[in-house]
Structure 1
Amino acid sequence: TEDDDWAWFVGLDAEATRIGNALWTGEDLDPEAAKRIIALFRLDFSEFDEVRPEVGARPIWLIMAMTSDRMVRMKPQNLIAGLPLRAATPAS
């Protein structure tokens, strides 16, 4: 993306997580890995108090990629576990 200030990303599969980690740490992405990205989604929260403070109003990027053998192995639990949501406050 054009956004150099990624606050958070979620890899929706193992390959996307590997690619996202490389981008997160500022590594150059090799052209073959870049070709395996099949979707890049932008997630914006309307309720910023639901998101961790370090993320705030910045978007969350969701990445999906295929393996080198052209398979998609999405891990839906990555979306649930990977979002930067604040911990729920117990009711008093």
Structure 2
Amino acid sequence: MTGADPKGVLMVLEVTSHDADTDRRDREGKREGYAAAGIPVHLLIDRENCTLTVHSDPDAGSYRHGPSLPYGASVSIPDPVDITLDTEPLKEFAR
């Protein structure tokens, strides 16, 4: 079985689950899969840590950059998306 063709995908947005295997699946496995597929940007919203991590510049199955910022920060999403997100509203949903 093969996955979907990632051609044309500029960014994937992932929100962590509250499952027992969140760390392995949401923070590691999916990130590695997106990088291996060559998806330019992977934005991870981590509900447990109240952070956003912007993974970018995929190379050889991993992302070269991955800064994490707290909810409330202005988050720059690099090319090819090239936007800045105001994450202040996410504080309303923090546990």
TM norm structure 1:
0.29
Compare CA radii of gyration and give the structure with the larger one.
1
More helix by share: 1
Higher relative contact order by CA 8 Å / sep ≥ 6: 1 or 2? Answer: 1
Structure having the higher strand fraction is: 2
TM-score, normalised on structure 2? 0.28
